[in-house]
A and B are shown apart, each in its own frame.
Chain A
């Protein structure tokens, strides 16, 4: 597998989830933050047919060397999956050096209720991620509810992304991008959600490092 370039040149994030979860909003916020930071931004979203409750993903990339709207296969730095199983579809964008951030709250599709399809066991899902690369799992939906509104799940995930210490843009820039994107009445709750995610991820990263004996 390829060794990664330095983040200033290229930083690539895949965001996975289910239509309606706010994955597009999250990728726009990251994109905006990168523009504020004076970087070149590329990204791609799937809209239209796929929005209606289907599996969705978006790509967001920034740095001096990004050119294409889609992340090169095998080269993404991070995968944020807003729904535990959904990220499994996109591991081919990752490398052994990537970091995966999983929201552990499942969304059960119709196909499972009607018996046409099976929902895998959560531990089994996490095992797959972990056998691929470093993985941080948190119940972002629960933290969003704790912050005051489940719709802030994407701010929890963005906060967690920054909290891992592996994201090259600053907290200030990310918060500015969130505030430029969401309604003013929701600024406070999103800020709270962001920091709940931030602290949780920071703690999980520390635990992982301690466990690895670093």
Chain B
């Protein structure tokens, strides 16, 4: 999909868009001038799709080095009175938190929207967190869409709103909005064509403590106005049912599930329903009207009880005796679906669910356990596979007999290697056959963790980190390792892109987000600049050299850096196909194959499989990288 094809669409026309595309298009309709982001599931397609068409609309778009810098880029634009946005996954806002808090104190001069894409159920994340808490901490109002169409409308509205109230706004999406599809009504594109205005305002931007106190006073004042007037926002709606003594509050995405459940239970129009599109602050006027009309309320929201807490507190302030249900009946953990919502509403109203969920689980559970486990794997031809193959070989050799390497003083007679990993495709090395990624806690966390381990254990430490992750958060940890002589081999897996999220460019790439040529920041220069004495760059397909380098690196007293450099296979093969070059697959010469299983049990390329007791290569999956031909001890893997 591409937003390019929307250029010819008429106002009012409906098109199918993914949530993230709809968010990007909403920003374009609103006249956004600057967009900066760091990729992360489920947020990446927002800037992907926006950057592709940015030039057509006079927008500056960039993939920043990390979320903090992205937020600062957007803040600068907003300060200069342009409309700006930043988008990130939930944990990205942890990285940008420092700037986010102060940005809220400074306020928005041009409409400023921070899109936070939370990941309930942690489909593609290291944790589950509800970023509405972060917004509350910063006095930032939260808009929560329930469909891509509403997400687009909210983006358009949020830019104007942010400008009107002088405060940054958070659009909180979740996986099931960002990666959902719906029909989206196309509106007209606002061409603001503003010139950026720089003003020297130390009272706003310089932090002496008097300024901080003053800005906080102003921020709270802005928020009080927002809280007072939030009822006017069109995304909140109260449907009072005649004579109903029970009411439901549904925020954001939960509204969709509540509507489905009411439909299944034949309760449409039987209960009062408050739809919340703004979850912080809550629209007190609508909430009050609901509480005046019903005796019992069920609050349905995903993850934390944010609106539940706010509404309960408000009810106490009003002196009401409303009875509430919320997280006692609605799951706190994971994402919602129609089932738990239907069950909760059935219990709340006192009706039977028409679907016998127990029978359904009984019927479906046995079948669900039949398919083979299919964990995500490194792609066929992935350069990381070659890197990890060599790493596993060398690390095992060293740990089994440190004396062979003259390292018995350091690691003892024999030991176990430790493999701190990080966030990216290479984190999949925690699985067989490699098991060379023992942890992936947060961006850059691998080198940081190793900084601690190095002073505690007598094991060789091999940290793996991707190029993009190293740029993002690895550098300070490496500097720390140099200064404190923390002994570790840092393996930077340089595939030239942020691969896992969709092959976005990194500061090491030769192009930027908008496809323009860009200066490459070289990882080896950075590592040397950090003070690392041993830095080597190797192509992981050169197995001999790769293993020699790792053996040298492990002897260094302090941090050593090995950069495995080969482009992401997805990018390489796509480029080749574009030029009309098809992959030349490999095959197994059955007369030579002894079924030693090295290719399957130690290398594990998904194109290689065993069926009917024969090792075979799937020609539709093989990319022709040739790595398996090198590692086959019998040279039984050959070109077709």
Contacts and interface: CB of A to CB of B under 8 A. Distances in A.
A50 B122 CA distance: 12
B529 interface: no
A92 B355 CA distance: 11
B431 to A, nearest CB: 9
B179 A55 contact: no
B591 interface: no
Interface stretch (A81-89, A166-174, A184-192, A199-207): A81-89
B47 to A, nearest CB: 15
10 contacts: A40-B183, A48-B42, A48-B44, A53-B376, A55-B374, A67-B257, A88-B371, A116-B373, A128-B367, A132-B364
Contacts of A43: 180-182
A1 interface: yes
Interface stretch (B60-68, B159-167, B258-266, B405-413): B258-266
Contacts of A86: 371, 374
B334 interface: no
Interface in B334-364: 337-339, 342, 354-357, 359-361, 363-364
Given A41-B16, A89-B367, 6 more contacts: A19-B376, A55-B374, A60-B181, A69-B177, A69-B253, A108-B609
Kindly state the interface size class of chain B when it binds its partner.
35 or more
B501 interface: yes
B456 interface: no
A1, A110, A120: which has the most chain B beta carbons within 10 Å?
Answer: A110
Contacts of A120: 370-372
Nearest to A117: B372
Contacts of A108: 372, 609, 611
Contacts of A72: 260-261, 264, 337-339, 342, 355
Given A69-B253, A72-B338, A111 B355 contact: no
A91 B378 CA distance: 28
A109 B372 contact: yes
A70 B371 contact: no
Interface string A109-131: 11111101111100011001000
A54 B376 contact: yes
Nearest to A9: B263
Given A2-B355, A40-B183, A54-B377, A68 B259 contact: yes
Given A92-B361, A109-B372, A50 B620 contact: no
Contacts of A53: 374, 376-377, 379, 606
B609 A73 contact: no
B428 interface: yes
B239 to A, nearest CB: 14
B379 A110 contact: no
B433 interface: yes
Interface string B363-402: 1111110111111111100000000000000000000000
Contacts of A150: 620
B156 to A, nearest CB: 20
Nearest to B371: A85
Contacts of A52: 376-379, 425, 428
Nearest to A52: B376
Interface string B30-69: 0000000000011011000000000000000000000000
B389 to A, nearest CB: 15
Given A88-B367, A91-B363, A48 B338 contact: no
A114 B433 contact: yes
The 4 closest A-B pairs by CB, nearest first: A48-B41, A68-B256, A69-B180, A72-B338
A90 B363 CA distance: 11
A33 B373 CA distance: 33
A42 B491 CA distance: 43
Contact of B367 (A71, A73, A116, A132): A132
B1 interface: yes
Q: Is the interface of B mostly helix, strand, loop or mixed?
A: mixed
Contacts of B609: 108, 110, 112-113
A197 interface: no
A45 interface: yes
A150 B618 CA distance: 13
B577 to A, nearest CB: 12
A43 B429 CA distance: 32
B385 to A, nearest CB: 11
Nearest to A62: B183
Contacts of A34: 183
Contacts of B176: 44, 69-70
B212 interface: no
Contacts of A66: 260
Contacts of B338: 68, 70-73, 75
B257 to A, nearest CB: 5
Contacts of B366: 128
A71 to B, nearest CB: 8
B333 interface: no
A196 interface: no
Contacts of B256: 42, 67-69
A44, A67, A109: which has the most chain B beta carbons within 10 Å?
Answer: A67
Contacts of B606: 53, 109-110
B372 A1 contact: no
A210 interface: no
A46 interface: yes
A110 to B, nearest CB: 6
Contact of A110 (B41, B182, B360, B604): B604
Given A2-B264, A72-B264, A112-B372, A49 B123 contact: yes
A137 B545 CA distance: 51
A32 interface: yes
A18, A32, A39, A60: which has the most chain B beta carbons within 10 Å?
Answer: A32
B14 interface: yes
B41 A111 contact: no
Contacts of B180: 42-45, 69
B355 A73 contact: yes
A182 interface: no
A12 B373 CA distance: 26
A74 interface: yes
A35 interface: yes
A31 interface: yes
Interface in B599-619: 600-601, 604, 606, 608-611
A75 B367 contact: no
Nearest to B433: A114
A54 B361 contact: no
B244 interface: no
A48 B427 CA distance: 13
A116 B256 CA distance: 40
B432 interface: yes
A28 interface: yes
A175 B609 CA distance: 36
B500 interface: yes
B124 interface: yes
Contacts of B425: 52
